[in-house]
């Protein structure tokens, strides 16, 4: 019995030491002034649309979005952050566009936009989209953080809330959810 107690106290000491190391490495990552996140987009049921996209927040709070998505015919397709990171029902169970300010759907450069409105991505004739743009609304921490939320690639182009279609002001009438993934820290 005495021996068991000794082992237990050694385990506690190791755990406490591990926790200390963790906070040390967290301080180091803060010094770099960059938060980083990543998402793997996949089409449910083994479809061919897939990609990886990274998000890097600079010291001024702007986020650089970069990556490659493949598998869609040449054209433009809506690309949006959804409120919830729920992909248990495929790509369709993520709530609405991430919208912490209760605004209407819009173009990424509009004042009136959902935080999650990242506009369209463009696929070339080889069915490749090279994603490379910046956004000043989404963040990787705080109330506008996209981490833990889903990103969705749609079946149609986002109309930026500019048409008379009844869905224009809520979703940009961008059609079905083709591929998606949950954004995590990188
Ligand atoms: Zn929207």
Q: Would you call 134 helix, strand, or coil by DSSP?
A: strand
3 and 45 belong to one structural domain: no
Regarding whether 100 and 45 lie in a shared domain, the answer is: yes
**How much distance in Å is there from the Cα of 162 to the middle of ligand 1?**
12
Q: How many A from CA of 166 to the centre of ligand 1?
A: 13
d(CA 157, CA 90): 20
CA of 19 to the centre of ligand 1 (A): 40
Q: What pairing do the DSSP bridges indicate for beta strands 63-70 and 35-42?
A: unpaired
In angstroms, what is the span from residue 79 Cα to ligand 1's centroid?
A: 9
How far is residue 181's CA from residue 164's CA, in Å, rounded to a whole number?
30
Structural domain harbouring 21:
1-33
78 & 23 share domain:
no
Ligand 1 ion: nearby residues, β-carbon < 5 Å: 97, 105, 114, 117
- 84 and 144 inside one domain: yes
25 lies in the same domain as 68: no
Q: Distance from the CA of 177 to the center of ligand 1, in angstroms?
A: 13
Instruction: Give the distance (Å) from ligand 1 centre to CA of residue 97.
Output: 5
Number of domains composing the chain: 2
State the pLDDT at residue 94. 86
Residues 40, 95 share a domain: yes
In 114-182, DSSP assigns E strands to 117-123, 128-135, 150-154, 177-182
pLDDT tens digits for range 129-158: 999 999 999 999 999 999 999 999 999 999
Q: Do 111 and 180 lie in a common domain? A: yes
151-161 pLDDT, tens digit per residue, is: 999 999 999 99
CB 46 within 8 A of CB 100: no
| Separation of CA 60 and ligand 1 centre (Å) | 24
Tell me the average pLDDT of the chain.
88
The 3-state DSSP class for residue 83 equals coil
This prediction has a pTM of: 0.82
Give dist(CA 16, CA 130) in Å, integer. 45
Asked if 22 and 44 sit in the same domain, the reply is no
Q: Both 3 and 70 in a single domain?
A: no
Where residue 117 sits, what CATH number does that domain have?
Answer: 2.60.40.200
């Amino acid at each position: 019995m005495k021996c068991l107690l000794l082992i237990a106290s050694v385990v506690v000491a190791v755990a406490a030491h591990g926790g200390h190391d963790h906070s040390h490495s967290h301080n180091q990552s803060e010094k770099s002034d960059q938060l980083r996140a990543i998402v793997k987009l996949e089409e449910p049921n083994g479809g061919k649309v897939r990609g990886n996209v990274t998000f890097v927040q600079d010291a001024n709070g702007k986020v650089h979005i970069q990556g490659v998505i493949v598998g869609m015919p040449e054209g433009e397709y809506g690309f949006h952050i959804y409120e919830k990171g729920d992909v248990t029902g495929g790509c369709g169970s993520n709530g609405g566009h991430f919208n912490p300010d209760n605004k209407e759907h819009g173009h990424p450069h509009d004042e009136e936009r959902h935080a999650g409105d990242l506009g369209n991505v463009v696929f070339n004739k080889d069915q490749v989209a090279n994603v490379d743009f910046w956004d000043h609304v989404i963040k990787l921490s705080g109330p506008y953080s996209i981490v833990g939320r889903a990103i969705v690639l749609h079946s149609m182009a986002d109309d930026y809330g500019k048409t008379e279609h009844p869905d224009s002001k809520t979703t940009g009438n961008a059609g079905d959810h083709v591929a998606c993934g949950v954004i995590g820290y990188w």
